[in-house]
Amino acid sequence: MTVLVDSETRVVVQGITGREGSFHTKAMLSYGTKILAGVTPGKGGSTIEGVPVYDNVIEAVRRHPELNTSVIFVPSRFTADAVYEAIDAGLDLIVVITEGIPVHETMKFVRYAKINGVTIIGPNCPGVISPGESKVGIMPGHVFSKGHVGIVSRSGTLTYEIAYAMTKAGIGQSTSIGIGGDPVPGTSFIDALEMFREDDGTDAVVLIGEIGGDMEERAARYIVEQGYEKPVVAYVAGRTAPPGKRMGHAGAIISMGVGDAASKIKVLREVGVEVAELPSQIPSLLVRVLKK
Amino acid sequence: MKLYEYEAKNIFSQFGISVPRFKVVSTPEEARSAAEEIGGRVVVKAQVLVAGRGKAGGVKLADSPQEAYSYAKQMLGSEIKGEKVRKAMVSKAVDIERELYLSIIIDRSIGAPVILASPEGGVDIEELARTKPEKILKIVVDPLIGVRDYHSRQAARFLELSEQAFRKAQEITINLYRVFENYSCELAEINPLAITPEGSLEAVDAKIILDDNALYKYPEFSSEFTRDLGYYEAEAKKMNFSYVELDGNIGILCNGAGLTMATMDSVYVLGGRPANFLDIGGGARADLVERAVTLLLQHPKTEVIFINILGGITRCDEVANGIVGALKKTGVSKEIVVRLKGTNEEEGRRILEENKIHVLEEMDEAARKAVELGGRR
């Protein structure tokens, strides 16, 4: 089994006619993702890569009632609107790829999604992939392989690096969730750990954190308080990052004395999570914890 | 982006939060006439963005316009913790009976705004959180609903005020939230919020941090977006790259923030010293890669350049052409270690090897090579 996306996932691409949207629609289709519809206001009636385009999500859902997932590529100024539209159209999962959304807007749509029981992945994220089943996002599919380890990560390319190392070592993934690099994500490490806990296709979890905020610390507390049954290994990026500087991601900043890598690593180790010094060590840590 | 104190105070005034009368000056003469106009004792405050200016001599109480002149003369053009003082504020000195603390921040753990209030202001709030956490009240606000009267009553009650001041504190809480919302703030802070002997409340200091992602809404500030950045950060920003200065000698250039951090960490773990963080993001074309590499070639402290690319939407051949272009155009030669993996990898490798740049396949071996060339700590 997998979490969030699988062969039953039916996708609408919001912002499908844009440069990013059309490029990744093609890549997702060739991976095997079932994309039934695209949406761009004003472009209804056209097609992109054989996918019909509608003016709004509600119309797309009316024409394709099997739709359950949206992936959003629209520019940051219009993203909040696209998210509300997808929530109101009744979709279950919304993957927000867009970077640069004002955090005041994100706080609001994340809250609105929670109230409506909708899962948001992102913003500012690579998306979700269940290798061999479905890819809803922008990650290069070939670095992933089908297997039984879940990945949850705040980063994009670093996830590809680690997935690539795992795949090379013969360790496949059930699902890889990129929760994104923004300060307020729709899905947290704890949310993802919960999903993997319930999934009998996942035997262990790789958690890829970075500086900023306290999501890694909260995950550590959750693991120890809940007596998390599956082994978790981790990598935390940014141990050489200076305080007060934003390291690329809006959320990757040590501020007001909170969020440095050393204290995250310490807290994770205290609850028994093995933390790698180098990304390349993740596969051997996994082999070790899975043997136990 | 952090605003200067005078900018934050201008916003506060517009939103009905009382601040001591002030003038912004850029010469000692202006400081003297500002002090004359305001009358009485004034405070001369250096307008800088670094924290801790008070202890560094950036805040002085002046009894006369002549004194204001001398303090301004000392401050203007000087440096406070490495930041040049271009402007100063001459502000009316208020009598303070007691100092309070009030702020609104985004709490990342909750994903919501939080009002923080304390009857013991004037000190560093992080320090207070460590020593007397019971003296800080934290009120979570639902972002969809915003601030309500009951929040402001709760905050005002915690501040231990007289009835007259209580109402004002309530008003200030509501108004501060309006500032926070209207300007998409990460932080809007009044510390200290002073109670005067007459029972009024004045924002003696003001701090606002705007969300960089929302700056497009505030063109009045965004034109100065690069103002607190150094040369390399500002240059990188023009290309839409992220750049952070570190103190080593191995320049780091990668695609993606997480990979860039992991690359600089790997260099450090293997014994080397990263010189900077340069993230060119996804899908950069050759011309932009060329400019990014040029930046590191020109950077005086960078002796070795370590380029680590895991190409998904970034194409390795574009990266290779960018590297070669930068070397040819600048004529600068530095040790370069390149790791290329992913889309169009073979083509990228061929371009680089034709130009006698050795390409490695794995991140660890490339990091080791960079450390070997750059020297160990």
Residues of A with a known catalytic role: 249
What's the pLDDT tens digit per position in B82-93?
A: 888 999 999 999
pLDDT of residue B227: 62
User: Is there a contact between B274 and B248 (Cβ–Cβ < 8 Å)?
Assistant: yes
Q: What is the DSSP letter of A25?
A: H
Q: Which residues of chain A have pLDDT under 50?
A: none
Backbone dihedral angles phi then psi of residue B146, each to the nearest 5 degrees: 80, -175
Cβ neighbour number for residue A19 with a 10 Å cutoff: 10
Which pLDDT band holds residue B224 (cuts at 50, 70, 90)?
low
pLDDT in tens, B170-184: 999 999 999 999 999
Taking contacts as CB-CB distances below 8 angstroms, the residues of chain A near B179 are none
Instruction: Provide, as residue numbers in chain B, all residues whose Cβ is less than 8 Å from the Cβ of A214.
Output: 108-109
Q: How does the average pLDDT of chain B come out, rounded?
A: 93
The owner of tokens 């009894």 is B63
pLDDT at residue B106 above 80? yes
pLDDT at B225 over 80: no
Beta strands in A196-286 (DSSP E): 204-210, 232-237, 274-275
**Is residue B223 predicted with pLDDT exceeding 60?**
no
Q: What confidence score (pLDDT) does residue A257 get?
A: 80
pLDDT for B220 equals 81
Q: Establish if A138 touches chain B: CB-CB under 8 angstroms.
A: yes
- Report the mean per-residue pLDDT for chain A: 96
- B259–A158 C-beta distance less than 8 A: yes
Q: For B113-125, how does the pLDDT look when each residue is reduced to its tens digit (9 = 90+)?
A: 999 999 999 888 8
Of A103, A144, A95, A102, nearest to A120 by C-alpha is: A95
pLDDT reading at B237 higher than 90: no
CB contact under 8 A, A101 and B213: yes
Taking the CA of residue A229 and the nearest CA in chain B, the distance in Å comes to 24
| Chain B contact present for A278, CB below 8 A | yes
* Residue B187: count of CB within 10 angstroms of its CB: 18
Q: Which chain B residues are Cβ-neighbours of A283 within 8 angstroms?
A: none
Radius of gyration of chain A (CA): 18
φ/ψ region of B61 (left if φ > 0, alpha if ψ in -120 to 50, else beta) reads: beta
State residue A292's pLDDT score.
74
**Cβ atoms < 10 Å from Cβ of A225:** 9
* The pLDDT value given to residue A220: 98
Nearest chain A CA: its distance from B258 CA (Å): 5
DSSP β-ladder status, B304-311 and B88-92? unpaired
Q: pLDDT tens-digit profile of A48-64?
A: 999 999 999 999 999 99
Taking the C-alpha atoms of residue A212 and residue A197, their distance in angstroms, rounded to an integer, is 25
Q: How does DSSP classify residue B300?
A: T
pLDDT tens string B198-214: 889 999 999 999 999 99
Q: Measure the CA–CA gap between B242 and B239, rounded to whole angstroms.
A: 9
Average pLDDT over residues B161-174: 94
> What distance in Å separates residue A63's CA from the closest CA in chain B?
31
User: What residue in A sits closest to B254 (Cα-Cα)?
Assistant: A157
Catalytic residues of B: 101, 189
- Cβ atoms A143, A167 nearer than 8 A: yes
For residue range B131-144, what is the model confidence (pLDDT) as tens digits? 999 999 999 999 99
Is B226's pLDDT higher than 60?
no
Phi and psi based region of residue B141 (left: phi greater than 0; alpha: psi -120 to 50; beta: remaining)? beta
DSSP assignment of B141-204 equals: --TTT---HHHHHHHHHHT---HHHHHHHHHHHHHHHHHHHHTTEEEEEEEEEEEPTTS-EEES
HSE (CB half, 13 Å, CA atoms) of B249?
14
Confidence grade of residue B8 (pLDDT, cut at 50, 70, 90): very high
The per-residue pLDDT for range A191-221, each reduced to its tens digit, is: 999 999 999 999 999 999 999 999 999 999 9
Element (H, E) at A53: strand A51-54
**Considering CB atoms only, which of A110, A155, A158 is closest to B111?**
A110
